[in-house]
Chain A
Amino acid sequence: MKRMSKKECVAMLLAGGQGSRLGSLTRNIAKPAVSFGGKYRIIDFSLSNCVNSGIDTVGVLTQYKPFVLNSYIGLGAAWDLDNAQGGVHILPPYMSEEGGEWYKGTANAIYQNIDFINNYNPDYVLIISGDHIYRMDYSKMLDFHREKKADVTISVMPVPWEEASRFGIISTDLEGRIKRFTEKPAEPDSNLASMGIYIFSWPLLRTALIQDEKDDTSDNDFGKNVIPMLLEEEKRMFAYQFEGYWKDVGTIDSYYEANMDLLLPHPEFDFFDDSRRIFSNSDFYPPHYIGLKAEICNSMISNGCVIEGEVINSILAPGVFVGEGSKIEHSILLPDAKVAKDCHLRKCIVGEQASIEDYTVIGMDEARLDQQEITVIEGKSMVPEEGCLEGEKGILQDSIA
């Protein structure tokens, strides 16, 4: 392969995790490929941020059930990343003369692709992950990195103190230089949480990855191993404070909540901001049709839907069907889900291409109406006629069909 022209910054997008806390939503597809906000998939946010920040070379590290994700990314044309000098590259683990192995951890995934990055000879490498909902201009973070003559810059944001122990917590000096980094501290001394977004100067990162790989006791993870190691070596590490909406959608609850945030009267994350658009590789559908007896209230509805029933406080992805007499409340229906006649769904996530037959009732138990339980119907599953389900986190294909 010919040496590519030099890039200032290359992005590496970690998309290999299973996302097991999303339960049956990720039983068949990788977390970054999960549908979000109607027509999007979670990875759209990171990819769109790259393009909107002027980064045109992105390596996507995939490992877990990559088929949907790989075909979704394709040549990257949907994000204008079909670029002869760079563009998007899908990087799965591979075999070599010395054998091969799965990506052992986030740092190991980058380590195994040192050649890919070398090929672009970048000054900086941006490490991001494909499971966050946010809009960010990485070029501002890069300016900050250069200005501080930093070796490593970590993007941080303040979180409520009571939640701080769920995050990687960073404490800094007045200048913003990182003093301490603790993963999930029991007693946090700061409320600045790492967002899992790093900029490294490439030669330094390369050395660090090789060093980390030699350490047999290491988990080869950025947060657990590489960052603490560099801190110990007293490298110039700075915290870049991000302002705006950022949400990790790693659990069913946070995924549900982040979707529902979009239905607030003035959502913090505004899809309608034309200046920094979120691109997506959506299938092509005609406009949606709202039937004669339909009622829609405070909801988001995508192309290709046909609605004959009632939809309240819900998000409908492309190609969803809601039959006559059915009522959908506080729910998220993923692409091509079908709800037949006279069903009543409440607080429900219906997976892609799932089919719910007539007279089904979900999440309607009186005794539990004010509880927070969310029922998840796995993609491609079928809930038979007059089904009745309640607050189960992950209804599996085989358990009901």
Chain B
Amino acid sequence: MVNKTIGMITGNFRCDALQTLSQTRSIAAVPFGGRYRLLDFQLSNMVNSGLRTVGIITPQQSRAILDQLGAGKSWFLDRKSGGLFILPGSHYGLHTRNNKFPLKDMANNIEFLTRDFAENVIISTSNIIANLDYKPILINHAKEQADVTLLYLENKLEKEEEPRQLFILSEDKWVTGLEEGMAKGWQKTKYFANTLIIKRQLLIDILKGYEHIENLDLMDVVKENCKNLRVLSYPIHGYFGRVFSLQSYFQHSINLLNLSVQQELFREDNKIHTKIKDNPPTKYGEQAKVKNSLVSSGCNLQGEVNGSIIFRGVQVEPGAIVRNSIIMHKSKIKKGVVLENVILDKYVEVRANTVIKGEDNDPIIIRKNHVV
């Protein structure tokens, strides 16, 4: 089952709502949770589910994502047979729609699909925070002889969810239609979780059949052909987050301070993998006061840290206070600094006695490499 499946992750997606965090990188490459990038979750999910061939559709600004991926060694994808494939995405002008899986990006890389012998392809966006096991879903997909399986979430649309959703209309488990719209009132309903399984041959046929139509999304095609294809819906339970705005990024980061969320996402038997940097352990000084924080390796913490996510190699000097903030790689926080509701991108230096305070649900971002 599993070795009859390959994966494809669309990283060609930028989102201006993430402000400067996604200015020089795609959403896929946005740092998350102390030592990961968003892409790590879906990539690890696929590998942990037994997939050994995964293609990543890369964005125009691909430096960060290529730096992360390398030859795929961290995900055991440096392989003779199959492995990691870098699939260059096309350049788009202005986005007016929230595209998920543009056909053009896949058509440009159709050889990735035609040269393989797999039965199915799992296609997913790269902004998902979840620990998923695709094995039962693939078994179900085969058992029901489905052409397409759409993964969906049900119930409680949280505030940090995207306001525009793709709703799934269904009779029992079979999908009868798709409807894009505003999630008014957040009522109980099935909505698409940006992940689907599709027969490889069907996907190739779609890409060839719609070759001449510009700017079409795979979901448009599925919607149009819902009645002719066997489209199955499959529920996802457990923690599932999507990053589409600064608020959702901040909220999902802070959610990691909840032990049960940590245990669910960072399960020991289904690890989320990322590029390994080999840092020494983090050092806590005599005057360190650290509470309720997720801290990565290689840091030197001498000050006060509370309710925060601290990435690799961060330095906090004595007397500095960091609260409810996200501090990315190798940022330096000098003496007497106070940070509250702040996101420091990588390599930021905050000079002594600087005070920066954002609002509870509206953090202030300091750009990469800046000195403030």
Contacts and interface: CB of A to CB of B under 8 A. Distances in A.
Contact of B282 (A78, A278, A288, A294): A288
Contacts of A292: 291-292
Contact of A289 (B283, B285, B288, B293): B293
Given A284-B273, A297-B286, A300-B283, A290 B266 contact: no
A303 B291 contact: no
Nearest to B288: A296
B281 interface: yes
Given A288-B294, A288-B295, A296 B34 contact: no
Nearest to B282: A301
B296 A303 contact: yes
Interface string A281-315: 01010111111111111111111001000010001
A272 B280 contact: yes
B296 A301 contact: no
B290 interface: yes
A287 B280 contact: no
Contact of B297 (A279, A287, A298): A287
Contacts of A78: 278
**Interface residue tally on A, bucketed by range:** 35 or more
Contacts, number: 99
Nearest to B281: A38
Contact of A291 (B273, B285, B291, B300): B291
Contacts of B271: 284
Contacts of B290: 290, 294, 296
B259 interface: yes
Given A286-B33, A303-B296, A297 B288 contact: yes
A39 B286 CA distance: 21
A287 B35 contact: yes
B262 interface: yes
A301 B284 CA distance: 8
Contacts of B319: none
A300 B280 CA distance: 9
A24 B262 CA distance: 34
A112 interface: no
B72 interface: no
Interface string A18-40: 00000000000000000001110
Contacts of A317: 281
A58 B293 CA distance: 41
B170 to A, nearest CB: 36
A317 B282 CA distance: 11
Nearest to B265: A286
Contacts of A393: none
B276 interface: yes
B298 interface: yes
Contacts of B73: 77
A201 interface: no
B168 interface: no
A316 interface: yes
B259 A301 contact: no
B272 interface: yes
B72 to A, nearest CB: 13
Given A287-B33, A303-B296, A298 B278 contact: no
A294 B73 CA distance: 36
A280 interface: yes
A271 B291 contact: no
A301 B279 CA distance: 12
A316 B265 CA distance: 23
Nearest to A308: B259
Interface of A: 37-39, 77-78, 271-272, 277-280, 282, 284, 286-303, 306, 311, 315-317
Given A290-B291, A291-B291, A292-B292, 16 more contacts: A271-B280, A272-B298, A272-B300, A278-B278, A278-B280, A284-B273, A284-B276, A286-B35, A286-B265, A289-B294, A295-B289, A297-B286, A297-B288, A298-B288, A301-B295, A317-B281
25 contacts: A38-B281, A78-B278, A272-B300, A286-B35, A286-B265, A287-B309, A288-B295, A289-B257, A289-B294, A290-B291, A290-B292, A290-B293, A291-B259, A291-B291, A292-B291, A292-B292, A296-B284, A297-B288, A298-B285, A298-B286, A299-B284, A300-B282, A301-B295, A316-B281, A317-B281
Interface of B: 33-35, 73, 257, 259, 262, 265-266, 271-273, 276, 278, 280-286, 288-298, 300, 309-310
Top 9 A-B residue pairs of the complex, sorted by shortest distance between their CB atoms:
A287-B34, A271-B280, A38-B281, A286-B266, A287-B296, A302-B281, A300-B281, A296-B284, A292-B292
